[in-house]
């Protein structure tokens, strides 16, 4: 399976992309980059499949790390360029995005209003008060509630109303949306991450056969695919669905990839043929565990010392384990798993984790 070569052409792409991003997109540096690309020898031996590697975006820093730090560099860069002094965003009660936004605002001296959506029911006091939401409060975020978990348009409308109210109080708000109706500016962070992966693989003399990533809002997934294709890397990027089924996620990715191509000035560099998603480890739904995810969280911890959250990375590693066991990755060169962070949510699932 073809991959990429790191040569003068790649260096030219790096410089071209750098100039395009600096010319058109403001950025504030929040993450500890580059994050490590490491082998997972014990998990590889246990599963008996292709060599497994991990891109450690749990190590981006910023109040617990995670993939959102890369995305926020571009959202908050745009906000500061517009003169904003207040950030408004939305997410689930245990949202990694909300926690990271709260931390970024604290670092930059901005007021942060977060809207928490009730997406997961029946998980008790730990889910409602510990984990990410505890850190949101510690970081100084002003918390609002939105009672519906699957109404992106309604959540956006509620943020717009809040922005209007804050503007009337003399604030200068900037909304970071998560819905499909807004251009995913933060996805540029994963175009940059793709460049990191290509460079690190070259340094380690790896020919990557596939990349496996959690796929939720689709910004990380779309940015990664687009960045790799822009770099000339052709390995498949397999998204493990963590919020919606494979067909719904496929439709979302079609739109997101086109938008990211336009954002970086490379229309058509990636497209529908690059979309690969699977939802075998999604049930019973967002933020809810299944046996495969429980096993993945346990194996990651006890074989590689990795802390995986039950919402994103646990389900994504479960998907990767399923692919290895099914033989779908047999004959594939080293596989890279993207660890998007989220470990604070482990505390929100205390009873589930203790049962492991």
Residue pLDDT, tens place only, 272-281: 999 999 999 9
Q: Which domain holds residue 79?
A: 68-176
Residue 3 has pLDDT above 50, yes or no: no
**Which contiguous run of DSSP H or E holds residue 83?**
none
Average pLDDT, the chain: 93
- Which of 176, 197, 219 finishes a domain? 176
Residue 121 lies in a domain: yes
End position of a domain, from candidates 146, 176, 206: 176
Confidence of residue 15 (pLDDT cuts 50, 70, 90): low
Instruction: Give yes or no: residues 349 and 328 share one domain.
Output: yes
Mean pLDDT, range 289-300, rounded to an integer: 97
d(CA 95, CA 344): 10
Q: What percent of the chain stands above pLDDT 70?
A: 94
In this model, does residue 70 exceed pLDDT 50?
yes
Note whether 209 and 337 are same-domain residues: yes
Residue 89 scores a pLDDT above 60: yes
Residue 330 within any structural domain of the chain = yes
| Residue 91 to residue 152: CA distance in whole angstroms | 10
Question: Could you tell me the maximum CA-CA distance found in the chain, to the nearest angstrom?
Answer: 61
Return the structure tokens found at 32.
């500890």
CA distances from 343 to 132, 196, 269, 297, 308 (A): 9, 23, 34, 11, 6
pLDDT of 142 > 50? The answer is: yes
Among candidate residues 160, 176, 192, the one where a domain is terminated: 176
Same domain, 230 and 274: yes
In a domain, 229, yes or no: yes
pLDDT at 65 over 60: yes
Task: Assess if residue 237 is contained within a domain.
Answer: yes
Confidence of residue 331 (pLDDT cuts 50, 70, 90): confident
* Residue 16, pLDDT score: 59
- Tell me, what's the pLDDT at 345? 95
**Under 8 Å between Cβ of 69 and 58:** no
> Under DSSP, is residue 349 helix (H, G, I), strand (E, B) or coil?
helix
Q: What is the pLDDT of residues 29-60, one digit of tens each?
A: 999 999 999 999 999 999 999 999 999 999 99
Nearest-10 crossing angle of helices 291-304, 313-326 = 90
Q: Do 22 and 159 belong together in one domain? A: no
Confidence of residue 23 (pLDDT cuts 50, 70, 90): low
How would you class 281 by CB atoms within 10 Å of its CB: exposed for 0-12, middle for 13-18, buried for 19 or more?
A: buried
Rounded to whole angstroms, how far apart are CA atoms 347 and 94?
10
Helix (H) or strand (E) holding 120: none
Pairing assessment for the beta strands 210-215 and 335-339 based on DSSP bridges: parallel
d(CA 194, CA 39): 18
Q: Is the pLDDT of residue 350 over 80?
A: yes
Are 195 and 341 in the same domain?
Answer: yes
- 173-176 and 52-56 strand pairing: unpaired
The answer on pLDDT for 10 being more than 70 is: no
pLDDT(7) > 50: no
pLDDT on residue 13: 54
pLDDT tens digits, 197-256: 999 999 999 999 999 999 999 999 999 999 999 999 999 999 999 999 999 999 999 999
With beta carbons less than 8 A apart as the criterion, state whether 332 and 210 touch.
yes
Count how many domains the chain has: 2
Establish if 275 belongs to a structural domain: yes
Mind telling me the catalytic residues? 95
pLDDT band at 5 (very low <50, low <70, confident <90, very high): very low
Let me know whether 166 and 259 are in one domain: no
In a shared domain, residues 139 and 188: no
**What is the DSSP code (8-state) at residue 142?**
E
- Residue 36 carries which DSSP code? P
Average pLDDT over residues 133-156: 94
CB contact at 8 A, 162 and 144: yes
* 135 and 21 fall within a common domain: no
DSSP code for 162: H
- Report the C-alpha gap between 312 and 320 in whole angstroms: 12
Give yes or no for a contact between 188 and 220, defined as CB atoms under 8 angstroms apart. no
Q: Is 14 helix (H, G, I), strand (E, B) or coil?
A: helix
C-alpha separations of 303 from 51, 184, 223, 299 in Å: 14, 35, 30, 6
Distance of alpha carbon 51 from alpha carbon 269, whole angstroms: 29
Band the pLDDT of 4: cuts 50, 70, 90. very low
pLDDT band (50, 70, 90) for residue 178: confident
Residue 102 counted as domain residue: yes
**Quick one: 61 and 72 in the same domain?**
no
How big is the chain, counted in residues?
Answer: 356
Q: Is residue 2 part of a domain?
A: no
Whether residue 228 is found in the same domain as residue 217: yes
* 1 pLDDT higher than 90: no
90 in Cβ contact with 117 (< 8 Å)? yes
Q: Quick one: pLDDT at residue 150?
A: 83
Q: In this model, does residue 17 exceed pLDDT 90?
A: no
d(CA 237, CA 256) in angstroms, rounded, equals 15
Q: Are residues 93 and 25 in the same domain?
A: no
Give domain status of residue 3, yes or no: no
DSSP helix/strand/coil, 179: coil
Alpha-carbon gap, residue 195 to 224, rounded angstroms: 9
d(CA 243, CA 132): 18
Both tokens of 247, joined, read: 């067909």
| Domain of residue 113, CATH code | 3.40.50.1100
Q: What is the pLDDT of residue 349?
A: 94
The reply to whether 74 and 138 lie within a common domain is yes
pLDDT classification of 94: cutoffs 50, 70, 90: very high
Mean predicted confidence (pLDDT) in 322-344: 96
Distance between CA atoms of 156 and 179, rounded to whole angstroms?
7
């Amino acid at each position: 399976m073809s991959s990429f070569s790191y040569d003068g052409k790649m260096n030219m792409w790096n410089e071209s992309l750098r100039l395009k991003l600096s010319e058109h997109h403001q950025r504030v540096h929040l993450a500890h980059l580059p994050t490590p690309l490491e082998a997972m020898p014990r998990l590889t031996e246990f599963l008996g499949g292709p060599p497994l590697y991990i891109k450690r975006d749990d190590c981006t820093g910023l109040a617990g790390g995670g993939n959102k730090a890369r995305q926020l560099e571009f959202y908050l860069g745009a906000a500061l360029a517009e003169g904003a002094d207040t950030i408004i965003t939305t997410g689930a009660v245990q949202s990694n995005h909300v926690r990271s936004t709260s931390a970024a605002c604290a670092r930059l001296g901005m007021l942060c209003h977060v809207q928490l959506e009730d997406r997961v029911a029946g998980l008790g006091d730990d889910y409602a008060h510990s984990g990410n939401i505890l850190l949101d409060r510690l970081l100084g975020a002003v918390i609002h509630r939105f009672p519906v978990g699957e109404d992106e348009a309604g959540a956006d409308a509620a943020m717009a109303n809040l922005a209007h109210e804050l503007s009337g109080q003399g604030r200068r708000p900037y909304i970071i949306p998560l819905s499909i109706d807004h251009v995913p500016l933060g996805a540029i962070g994963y175009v940059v991450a793709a460049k990191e992966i290509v460079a690190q693989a070259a340094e380690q003399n790896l020919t990557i056969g596939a990349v496996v990533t959690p796929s939720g809002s689709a910004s990380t997934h779309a940015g990664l695919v687009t960045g790799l294709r822009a770099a000339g890397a052709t390995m498949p990027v397999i998204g493990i669905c963590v919020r919606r089924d494979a067909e719904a996620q496929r439709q979302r990715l079609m739109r997101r990839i086109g938008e990211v191509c336009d954002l970086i000035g490379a229309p058509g560099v990636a497209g529908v043929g690059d979309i690969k998603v699977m939802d075998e480890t999604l049930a019973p739904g967002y933020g809810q565990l299944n046996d495969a995810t429980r096993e993945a969280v346990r194996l990651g911890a006890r074989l590689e010392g990795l802390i995986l959250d039950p919402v994103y990375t646990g389900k994504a590693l479960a998907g990767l384990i399923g692919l290895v066991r099914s033989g779908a990755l047999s004959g594939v060169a080293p596989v890279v798993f993207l660890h998007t962070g989220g470990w604070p949510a482990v505390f929100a699932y205390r009873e589930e984790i203790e049962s492991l």
